[in-house]
Amino acid sequence: MRMIKEAGSRELEIRRSRFVCTLARVRDEAEAVEFIARHRRAHRDATHNCTAYVVGERGEITKSSDDGEPAGTAGIPMLEVLVRRGLTGVVAVVTRHFGGVKLGAGGLVRAYGQAVAGAVDAVGVVELRPVVTVTVGLDHALAGRFLGDLHGRGAHPSDVRYGDEVQADVPVPLADLVDFEAWAAEATAGRARLRRGAAGHIEIPVQE
């Protein structure tokens, strides 16, 4: 599953028309619809506010709007960029300020597609990978070496607490869970106390 790294916007100028693409992360269709309504109110002076969004764990919910542009020249090209990039949980609004020169149907398709593609490139993309947080309980005498070995594996605790024992919360990719638990037991000669916790996701930057 892929999402944009963060919200953001990017402006593209073509033959004196300004195309400003604004992207946002959304959890569901209701958030996407609310974002679009809010954006249109804030930019009611624009010639067009064309939209597209993809939501759902598998990107199964999609919708687009040409907002008065010729049918199929704005919303669909915008949506195609999002789908082609494999994104979900994202809404795009391209605000156009007409510059007085007509672009034709083909020009509009290219402009709206380029506006979204450029904005996605600007904000970046992350891949969401499933993880399980494993809480590792350790005696203080073991904690320093274990945490050093943990960093050596490229794993980084989301939280470390010091009390009667040291507890480290470690997000572990689901596919590596059994191997991690075996490694933790071996690294501490069986003295680590392991407890599986909440499932979630981590975000890994995608280089495209």
Neighbours of 125 (CB within 10 A): 20
* Pair 169, 133: CB distance under 8 Å: yes
71, 91, 177 from 65: Cα distances, Å:
9, 12, 43
Domain residues of the chain, as ranges? Answer: 2-123, 128-206
* Pair 170, 114: CB distance under 8 Å: no
Bridge pairing between strands 125-138 and 166-173: antiparallel
For residue 128, give the nearest of 190, 62, 201, 79 by alpha carbon: 201
Residue 57's pLDDT band (boundaries 50, 70, 90)? confident
Q: Residue 68 gets which letter from DSSP?
A: T
Does domain 128-206 fall under CATH 3.40.50.300? My reply is: no
Q: Where are the alpha helices (DSSP H) in the chain?
A: 29-42, 75-84, 104-123, 140-152, 177-187
- What would the pLDDT profile of 132-145 be if each residue is shown by its tens digit? 999 999 999 999 99
The encoded tokens of residue 75 equal: 């919303």
Long-range pairs of 63-67 with CB within 8 A, sequence gap ≥ 24: 63/29, 63/32
Residue 155: what pLDDT? 87
Residue 10's pLDDT band (boundaries 50, 70, 90)? very high
* Pair 39, 93: CB distance under 8 Å: yes
The CATH number of 2-123 is: 3.30.230.30
Mean pLDDT score, 104-113: 96
Residue 53's pLDDT band (boundaries 50, 70, 90)? very high
